[in-house]
A and B are shown apart, each in its own frame.
Chain A
Amino acid sequence: MRYLPKSDSERCEMLASMGLRSTEDLFSHLPEELRMKRPLDIPPGQSEYEIIEYFRERAAENANGYACFLGAGVYQHFRPVIVDSLISRGEFLTAYTPYQPEISQGTLTSIFEFQTMICQLTGMEVANASMYDGSTALPEAVMMACRVTGRLRAVVARTVHPEYREVHRTYARYQGLPVVEAPYDRETGLLNLKRLEKLVDEDTAAVVVQNPNFFGCIEAVREAAAIAHSRGALLVVMFTEAVSLGILEPPVDADIVAGELQSFAISPSYGGPYAGVLAAKEKYIRQMPGRLAGETKDQNGNRAYCLTLATREQHIRREKATSNICTNQALIALMATVYMSVFGKQGLRELAEQNLAKAHYLAGELEKRGARPRFAAPFFNEFVVDCGGRRAPSVNRRLLKNRIVGGLELKRFYPELRNCLLLCATETTRREEMDRLAEHF
């Protein structure tokens, strides 16, 4: 087997030096009744060519050559080629967690840069080295708010990604943390602030809002912050479309920002791996979960980076840790770091402007065909369309026949929006594709 670098003669030499005859001797101490009595029922090892063929066949069984208008938390964006050129270097790809700073300055320096850029992007003061993804960053943010405020209750806008809310419910249930959902306004598609005001009380640790929200609409974050803060609760602002921060005011009124970085050079890859963000005001730093890289000096006065405030984490504080997270998403965060340095200050802006233009063009073309936007609020690169006289599933069926994957049918998450589709257009969506979608809608 080509990944096992020892020859049989090497094995013999090693065994001889140990006074053993066979590798089997090393297992003889295991209780006989617990050992496998048969080989593993797994087909024989394959060559590289066969493995590639296997996965090519699986890939061919997925959508190929379809125009795709799905967003809903996972977005198609250009991936600069140099992202893979750089992160595929063995020194990044096959490196361990940087617990030994003297031989991990590459990883640590890039984490420090990542943390900085996340702060710049989100308007927060500190950011950790990544969470698993946006969906798990949400419960982590809420639990952090609970630690900070000493309260238990969370009020979560129904316009936060439905699967994120489901994940949060799983975590919250077993921690004994009450969760209340705040409804949205049927006209605007935005969190209903009047209702929010009634729901937030002195037991509320966190108010959670997503911007742009799941419908693609721009929320009134400042007003939500005022409501939260007036009762002593923290405001958690989530995001799923990182590109929006190229053109949207960052949520500086938030206490904690959590979200998903998949838009930044992370392939959709059927749902993962992605990289979650957790950022906050500086005063909350000791309540933050996850790894933090900090700047310091070595004993010769050279600038150096190391993991810091480790006492928050599981390997030291064990059952009193801020989280149980150990392995995070370092390599994926590095993809985002390279991406952010490629696009930079001007590029992210231009990228966001293109997204805005494409989605608004699409909305306009659909409106001409009688499919109006469902909500009145401004949107970034996705929006909800009411199929009107046509039924949403049959619209999508017709589109599929024309090799177009249409929008997400919302009835699976919002039964009251049963005839609506959530459509997304990004800088990768071509005008010709949008015209075709409108034609066959």
Chain B
Amino acid sequence: MIRKVRSHINQNEPLLFERSSPGKKAYQLPPLDVPAVDAATALGAGNARREIEGFPEVSEVEVIRHFTRLSTWNYAIDLGVYPLGSCTMKYNPRVNEYVARIDGLAQAHPYLPEQLAQGAMRIQATLEQMLAEITGMHAVTLQPAAGAHGELTGILLARALLESRGNAREKVLIPDSAHGTNPATAALAGYRVESLASNAEGMVDVAELERRVDESVAALMVTNPNTLGIFERDIARVAEVLHSRGALLYMDGANMNALVGVARPGDFGVDVMHLNLHKTFSTPHGGGGPGGGPVAVRRELEPFLPLPRVVSDNGALRYSYDRPQSIGRVRAFYGNFGVLVRALAYILAHGGEGLRNATGDAVLNANYVRKHLEGCYTLPYPAPSLHECVFSDERQASQGVRTGDIAKRLIDYGFHPYTVSFPLIVHGALMIEPTETEDKRELDALIDALRSIAEEAASNPELVRTAPHDTRVARVDEVTAARKPIVRWKPGR
């Protein structure tokens, strides 16, 4: 029975260009207090533009209506749980939005003289310290703009260290359970990628690793807990194997929500890792970004960190550019500062004990869901789950119902789907990560919904296979969208 949602009329809305009408205005600029200048004269006649063809003209009320109506077509954390595995869709605290907009922070130009940017620099230095403490690593860079950007930075750091030892080496090993950004990153860093098959428990196969690590291997990229939500209990041994042959251990920190305050990657042999501020540290996803992908490193890697670095000079903070071994810049300026502010606000709100409790609740929530779904979905790997659990659609597949269908039917029940068909080592995966910011009521509703769908898969598979039924748009034709891509509006369509 669908209990969580009910139909409701919502407004249609055309595209801005379809609303547009010449002469409509949503802006007013103050009058010019200096003489006007003729564009053609000042810029050169060939350089002056006539008009921006096709650009919309709408009024302020229409702008408000347009975007407000569009927003009502979206699901969001503010509406309900996103059980997406490895995405850590937790509550985005509003005080974070408020502090990021304080004028002295929001208006600060990155080229302000250092003595007029001490507050911003202090925020960066403090966040670096806290992330170093959380990860158990020696130093942190806040430059990367997102997880994938952090991965690239991290692998480049590994490469720079190996080059300084005389041999950058040729390849990076990546478990077959890894996120797609991992191999894409390794390729961008100039490495060949080799896949490492997981063992029967879904973890890194240490014996296989021992066979494969030689002097051509630069690093192993691992996620811990892995993408099954399972802690790699041999991780220290994995680190040993790599280190004994001069290779490095890179950790993808996407799943840090299971470890904060409980275990620190620096303590189990990780050399370099990235964090996702938009996952573990609550900064908002905003429909796909912005993110923040700080990278934390062990002492030997510090000289290679991107420049500049914030350093303390008699109590004042300044930037150090004198870093001959640095890999250089990975982006202009210093980092996604506005995202850093939000992440620091999150850490300050929790405090040390609060962060530890958040981890406890995240793991409790995931295991609660797992326990109550074990009866109706196949659990491919029985090892204990941490902050996420992975089922497969094996039982339902015999009725012709696959994980993608179950996910779509979950939408009818008022939820966003879990992560579908990932990791690749599970056939027909359902990856579920509720995060700690869900209460028992929401979790029970999610469990009830998935149990109900399992029943439907048995008794009325067609209903599940053709879901969703109650959304504003039904399943879309992704095939035609790919065959004949239309990626912009054109007049006359």
Report the contact-size class of chain B (Cβ under 8 Å from the partner): 35 or more
B9 interfacial by beta-carbon distance below 8 Å: no
Interface segment among A147-155, A225-233, A327-335: the answer is A327-335
Among B43, B117, B159, B439: residue with most chain A CB under 10 A? B43
B481 within 8 A of A: yes
Whether a CB of chain B sits under 8 angstroms from the CB of A215 is: no
- Chain B positions within 8 Å of A102 at CB level: 408, 411, 468, 471-476
Closest residue on chain B to residue A169 by CB atoms: B328
* Cβ–Cβ < 8 Å partners of A299 in chain B: 474-477
A33/B108 in contact, CB under 8 A: no
Task: State whether the Cβ of B376 lies closer than 8 Å to any Cβ in chain A.
Answer: no
Q: Is B322 among interface residues, defined by CB-CB distance under 8 A?
A: no
Q: A102-B411, A324-B188 are in contact. Are A380 and B29 (CB under 8 A)?
A: no
Bound complex: CA A29 to CA B383 (Å): 9
* Among A82, A94, A111, contact of B77 (Cβ-Cβ < 8 Å): A94
Q: Contact at A285–B287, with CB atoms within 8 Å?
A: no
Q: Kindly list chain B residues whose C-beta atoms are within 8 Å of the C-beta of A218.
A: 43-44, 47
Q: Could you tell me the distance in whole angstroms from the C-beta of B97 to the nearest C-beta in chain A?
A: 7
Judge if A281 is at the interface, Cβ distance under 8 Å. Answer: no
Task: Give B339-378 interface residues, CB cut-off 8 Å to A.
Answer: 339, 341, 345, 347-358, 360-361, 363-364, 367-368, 371-372
- Give 19 CB contacts A-B under 8 Å: A14-B443, A33-B236, A35-B262, A36-B267, A44-B351, A59-B105, A84-B101, A94-B77, A109-B15, A247-B49, A269-B105, A273-B336, A300-B474, A311-B482, A315-B180, A324-B188, A340-B56, A346-B25, A400-B116
Interface 9-mer from B30-38, B201-209, B391-399? B30-38
Instruction: Please give me the residue from chain A that is nearest to B265 by CB atom.
Output: A34
For B187, list chain A residues within 8 Å (CB).
Answer: 319-321, 324
Residue A157, interface by CB 8 Å = no
A327 in contact with B291 (CB, 8 Å): yes
A270 touches B78 (CB 8 A): no
CB–CB B53/A120 < 8 A: yes
Q: Closest 9 interchain pairs by CB? A: A331-B286, A59-B104, A271-B333, A90-B78, A45-B351, A61-B119, A330-B288, A135-B332, A273-B290
User: Are the C-beta atoms of B26 and A347 separated by less than 8 Å?
Assistant: yes
Whether a CB of chain A sits under 8 angstroms from the CB of B183 is yes
- Is there contact, CB below 8 Å, between B104 and A62? yes
- Report yes or no: A51 in contact with B99, Cβ–Cβ below 8 A: yes
Which residues of chain B in 414-458 are interfacial with respect to chain A, using CB atoms and an 8 Å cutoff?
416-417, 422, 436-440, 443
- How distant is A67 from chain B, measured CB to nearest CB, in Å? 12
Q: Are B181 and A175 in contact (CB under 8 A)?
A: no
Query: Closest residue to B367 on the A side, CB-wise?
Result: A26
In the bound assembly, the distance between CA atoms of A30 and B417 in angstroms comes to 30
Contact status A6-B439, CB under 8 Å: yes
Chain B residues contacting A331 (CB-CB under 8 Å) are 284-290
B55 to chain A: closest residue by CB: A345
Whether A405 is near chain B, meaning CB under 8 Å from some CB there, is: yes
Chain A residue contacts of B487, Cβ below 8 A: 112, 115, 126-127, 285, 292-295, 308
A sample of 17 more A-B contacts (CB under 8 A), given A104-B73, A332-B286, is A1-B349, A1-B350, A15-B364, A55-B345, A62-B120, A74-B111, A91-B74, A94-B286, A96-B77, A96-B82, A269-B106, A285-B485, A324-B148, A324-B152, A361-B34, A431-B33, A431-B34
A18, B112: Cα distance in complex, Å? 56
Q: State how many angstroms separate the Cβ of A138 from the closest Cβ of chain B.
A: 10
Q: In the complex, what distance in Å separates the CA atom of A4 from the CA atom of B133?
A: 22
- Decide: A96 and B416 in contact? CB cutoff 8 A: yes
A interface, by DSSP: helix, strand, loop or mixed? helix
How long is the Cα–Cα vector from A345 to B17 in the complex, in angstroms?
11
The reply on A394 being an interface residue by CB < 8 A is no
> In the assembly, what is the distance between CA of A222 and CA of B148, in Å?
36
Taking CB atoms, residues of chain B closer than 8 Å to A272 are 145, 290, 331, 333-339
B70 within 8 A of A: yes
**B418 shortest CB reach to chain A, Å:** 11
A202 at the interface (CB under 8 A from B): no
Measured CB to CB, the closest approach of chain A to B135, in angstroms, equals: 11
**Nearest CB of chain B from residue A83's CB, rounded to whole Å:** 9
Looking across the interface, which residue of chain B has its beta carbon closest to that of A260? Answer: B332
CB of A164 within 8 A of CB of B332, answer yes
Q: Are B289 and A327 in contact (CB under 8 A)?
A: yes
Is A181 in contact with chain B by the CB < 8 A criterion?
Answer: no
Q: Which residues of chain B in 458-493 are interfacial with respect to chain A, using CB atoms and an 8 Å cutoff?
A: 468, 471-478, 480-482, 485-489
Q: Of residues 69 to 114 in B, which have CB atoms within 8 Å of A's CB atoms?
A: 70-79, 82, 84, 87, 89-93, 95, 97-113
Q: Are B48 and A14 in touch, CB under 8 angstroms? A: no
Answer whether residue B162 sits at the interface, using C-beta atoms and an 8 A cutoff. no
A430: chain B residues within 8 A (beta carbon): 33
Q: Interface-forming stretch among A193-201, A352-360, A384-392? A: A352-360
Q: How far is the CA of A51 from the CA of B49 in the complex (A)?
A: 48
Q: By the criterion CB–CB under 8 Å, are B278 and A327 in contact? A: yes
Tell me if A402 counts as interface (CB < 8 A to partner B): no
B112 touches A52 (CB 8 A): no
B322-334 near A? 1/0 per residue, CB < 8 Å: 0000011111111
Determine if A325 and B337 form an interchain contact, defined as CB atoms under 8 angstroms apart: no
> Contacts of A171 on B, CB cut-off 8 Å?
188
CB of A96 within 8 A of CB of B105, answer: no
B310 at the interface (CB under 8 A from A): no
Once bound together, how far apart are the Cα atoms of A84 and B338, in whole Å? 14
Complex contacts, B120 vs chain A, CB 8 Å: 58, 62, 270
B296 contacts chain A at the CB level, 8 A cutoff: no
Given contacts A30-B263, A90-B78, A328-B288, contact A167 B57 (CB under 8 A): no
Q: Assess the B35–A343 pair: CB atoms within 8 A.
A: no
B16 at the interface (CB under 8 A from A): yes
Q: Which A267-322 residues sit within 8 Å CB-CB of chain B? A: 267-273, 285, 291-300, 302, 304-306, 308-311, 313-321
Residues of A within 8 A of B2 (CB): none
- Does B39 count as interface, using CB distance less than 8 angstroms? yes
**Does A237 sit within 8 A of B, measured CB to CB?**
no
| Smallest Cβ-Cβ distance to A412: which chain B residue | B321
Bound together, the chains give a CA A29 to CA B231 distance in angstroms of 9
Q: Which of B68, B333, B354 contacts A270 (CB 8 A)?
A: B333
Q: Contacts A3-B349, A62-B108, A345-B56 known; A27 to B262 CB distance under 8 Å?
A: yes
Whether B99 and A55, one on each chain, are in contact in the complex, defined by CB atoms closer than 8 angstroms, is yes
A187 vs B114: C-alpha distance when bound (angstroms): 32
Does chain B have a CB within 8 A of A159?
A: no
Expressed in whole angstroms, the minimum distance between the Cβ of A177 and any Cβ of chain B is 10
Residues of A within 8 A of B134 (CB): 40, 42
Are the CB atoms of B110 and A270 closer together than 8 Å? yes
Known: A267-B107, A271-B337, A405-B113. A136 touches B472 (CB 8 A): no
- Chain A residue numbers with a CB within 8 Å of B140 are none
Do residues A318 and B183 form an inter-chain contact, with CB atoms below 8 A?
yes
Query: Is A41 interfacial (CB-CB < 8 Å)?
Result: yes
Given A3-B93, A324-B152, A349-B52, are A40 and B285 also a contact pair (CB < 8 Å)? no
Which of A27, A51, A94, A328 has the most B CB atoms < 10 Å from its CB?
A: A94
